[in-house]
């Protein structure tokens, strides 16, 4: 009998219409979520634990740092075979990626949730929980790292993203594809991640890393303002291979000279950053002024990577090494 712990953090899966205020709010307990299953997967015994319930749009990095620590503590018990985390979909990819960066365990860790709240007759929550329990109990997921299980698909935490605002098949691993699927309780893994998890030993996740989106003709004013108001790092969501409008290279140099690392990611959904283009703030100029290329990490995940590196006390050389190998 496999022993799985269900950690509930809130989100749509634990939400229903609030009769005293407008909108849908989280608050349904893990015990109730488990009782909502139409049938329990065979060969699994589940322990439940309520974490800090909230819509995932309201979560912060400190909360998810505590969550990853709790997952490691739960899975340190040799009797526990895996963990399922119920979570809101808005930032699920971020929490799963932070877990990918920091968790010490190789046991299965499966994030899931719902797009239709628990008060709707066609809520997708119970089915997703059942599939996630099956995945967490499967030996095929040992060593894969944290995953997102949604609408039967298993996605690795490194590449998964929420690709649709409302559909029940909201998650994709753009350019890479899912790792596997759950089919009537049977777990099938078709590929395993090529990247080794860094397992960064952080004492915290720095909350002061700012993410700045770049559009045609934008100026580096927000970048400068962030540096003046306590930003410990900057991530640029840049063009193409990692290019920016005029002025961003000069601001990158000014900030890096003050000890504020600047990471350059691409706003494209596929492909890698590379220093190819010159002139004022092409990738060559940004790197020459101290910018660190994010490889194929999205800007959202590059921010989490930098925040974790800073929380671990990494110097600039170590940050560059970790991004180069990410």
Beta strands per DSSP E along 225-287: 233-238, 262-266
Q: Evaluate whether 161 touches 169 at the Cβ level (below 8 Å).
A: no
**Alpha carbons 260 and 129: distance in angstroms, whole number:** 41
Check 89, 91, 123, 252 and give the catalytic one.
Answer: 89
Is residue 252 annotated as a catalytic residue, yes or no? no
Q: What angle do CA 28, 30, 36 make, to 5 degrees?
A: 80
Rounded CA-CA distance 96/86 in Å is 11
Angle between helices 299-311 and 92-102 (to 10 degrees): 40
The annotated binding site for substrate is made up of 56, 89-90
CB 267 within 8 A of CB 237: yes
For 48, 50, 214, 237, the CA distances from 34, given in Å and listed in that order, are: 8, 12, 43, 39
Give the 3-state secondary structure of residue 145: coil
Annotated binding-site positions:
56, 89-90
Of 67, 55, 53, 1, the C-alpha closest to 23 is 55
Residue 269 class from Cβ within 10 Å (0-12 exposed, 13-18 middle, 19+ buried)?
exposed
* Residues β-bridged to residue 150: 153
C-alpha 8/C-alpha 151 separation (Å) is 18
Decide if 89 is catalytic: yes
CA 148 to chain centre: 9
Cα–Cα distances (Å) from 120 to 15, 16, 89, 115, in that order, read: 10, 8, 17, 10
Catalytic residue, chosen from 5, 9, 12, 91, is: 12
Nearest to 66 by CA among 51, 78, 54: 51
Active site residues: 12, 89
């Amino acid at each position: 009998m496999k022993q799985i712990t269900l950690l509930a953090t809130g989100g749509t899966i634990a939400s229903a219409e609030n009769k005293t205020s407008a909108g849908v709010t989280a608050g349904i307990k893990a015990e109730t979520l488990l009782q909502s299953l139409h049938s329990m997967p065979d060969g699994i015994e589940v322990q439940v634990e309520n974490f800090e319930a909230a819509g995932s749009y309201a979560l912060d990095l400190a909360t998810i740092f505590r969550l990853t620590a709790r997952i490691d503590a739960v899975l340190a018990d040799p009797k526990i075979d895996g963990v399922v985390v119920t979570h809101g979909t808005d930032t699920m990819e971020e929490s799963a990626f932070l877990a990918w960066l920091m968790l010490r365990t190789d046991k299965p860790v499966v994030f899931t949730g719902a797009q239709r709240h628990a008060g709707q007759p066609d809520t997708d929550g119970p089915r997703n929980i059942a599939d996630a329990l099956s995945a967490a109990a499967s030996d095929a997921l040992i060593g894969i790292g944290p995953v997102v299980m949604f609408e039967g698909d298993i996605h690795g935490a490194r590449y998964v993203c929420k690709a649709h605002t409302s559909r029940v098949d909201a998650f994709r691993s753009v350019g890479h594809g899912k790792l596997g699927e759950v089919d009537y309780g049977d777990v099938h893994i078709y590929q395993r991640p090529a990247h080794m998890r860094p397992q960064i030993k952080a004492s915290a996740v720095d909350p002061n890393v700012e993410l700045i989106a770049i559009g045609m003709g934008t100026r580096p004013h927000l970048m400068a303002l962030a540096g003046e108001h306590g930003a410990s790092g900057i991530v640029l969501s840049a063009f193409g291979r990692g290019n920016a409008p005029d002025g961003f290279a000069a601001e990158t140099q000014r900030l890096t000279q003050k000890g504020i690392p600047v990471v350059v990611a691409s706003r494209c959904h596929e492909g890698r950053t590379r220093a190819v283009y010159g002139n004022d703030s092409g990738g060559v100029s940004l790197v020459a002024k101290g910018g660190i290329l994010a490889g194929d990490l999205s800007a959202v995940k590059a921010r989490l990577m930098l925040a974790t590196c800073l929380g671990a006390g990494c110097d600039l050389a170590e940050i560059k090494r970790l991004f180069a190998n990410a």
